[in-house]
A = this chain, B = another copy of it.
């Protein structure tokens, strides 16, 4: 389950409500495309903006539409107590695995983060993916801490935020982490623009944002890399450079993929909760043009 393409769909929502019909459409696309797994209620899944009850409802909707595709459920929250409750909800809903980031308001220490994973894995019956995303959690894992956490029971994968652009440096980065974790714990790359490089460098999984909206496009890259066609994977990724440029320009992938989902008619407008906003005006037109050029529209 923690190998290949793991697609992370948006949870579309606005001031009126969660766009459940839009969410279901996104899940159906992933199931139809045959992604290796899907990760709901990750950062792109806007978990931080939902209540426990809303999250439980989204998990049930995803489970109902996912078919044979394993569903990994994000259980991150600011309090350990809430993480434990969300883990129970995910288990009760029949999720295949959980994903946990050290979400923070007050900056966390290494010991506090280790304590969080220790407490959660001690009570968990599902496999867990460690979610390392300093851009949103503001916690930076040391490799030593990854090693300690990966040795806990139930830990099955680490979602790393990216790899260096240089292939040799990427290989070294993955090898260094690999040397510190048990052999059965996989490493998955995120940061879509770096995914091909990460897969070529030995990451077994790609935890993918564009995979949540354009699963075929992401699968082509993942399949090329897995087949040992590293150059082809890179070529397919480099073809998407206009999209990566928009990710960089708009502070990450979320606003871009949410706007793309709107442009494709998959979700209601707007698809993000205030104060977050999707792209408007020229920025929106520029994205529409990129989707057209890349034959993603």
Contact = CB atoms under 8 A, between A and B. Distances in A.
Interface of A: 15, 43, 48-49, 78-81, 102-103, 105-109, 111-113, 115-116, 119, 135-136, 138, 251-252, 254, 273-277
A45 to B, nearest CB: 12
Nearest to A112: B275
A277 B112 contact: yes
A120 B106 CA distance: 24
A105 B48 contact: yes
A119 B81 contact: no
Q: How many copies of this chain sit in the oligomeric assembly? A: 2
Given A80-B274, A106-B251, 5 more contacts: A48-B106, A79-B274, A81-B274, A106-B136, A109-B251
- What are the 3 A-B residue pairs with the smallest beta carbon separation, nearest first? A48-B105, A80-B274, A116-B275
Contacts of A254: 106
A249 B106 CA distance: 14
Given A79-B49, A81-B15, A107 B273 contact: no
Contacts of A136: 105-107
Contacts of A135: 107
Contacts of A81: 15, 273-274
A113 B276 CA distance: 9
Contact of A274 (B109, B119, B277): B119
Most chain B CB within a 10 A radius of its CB, from A79, A112, A116, A275? A275
Contacts of A49: 78-79, 105
Nearest to A250: B109
A273 B135 CA distance: 23
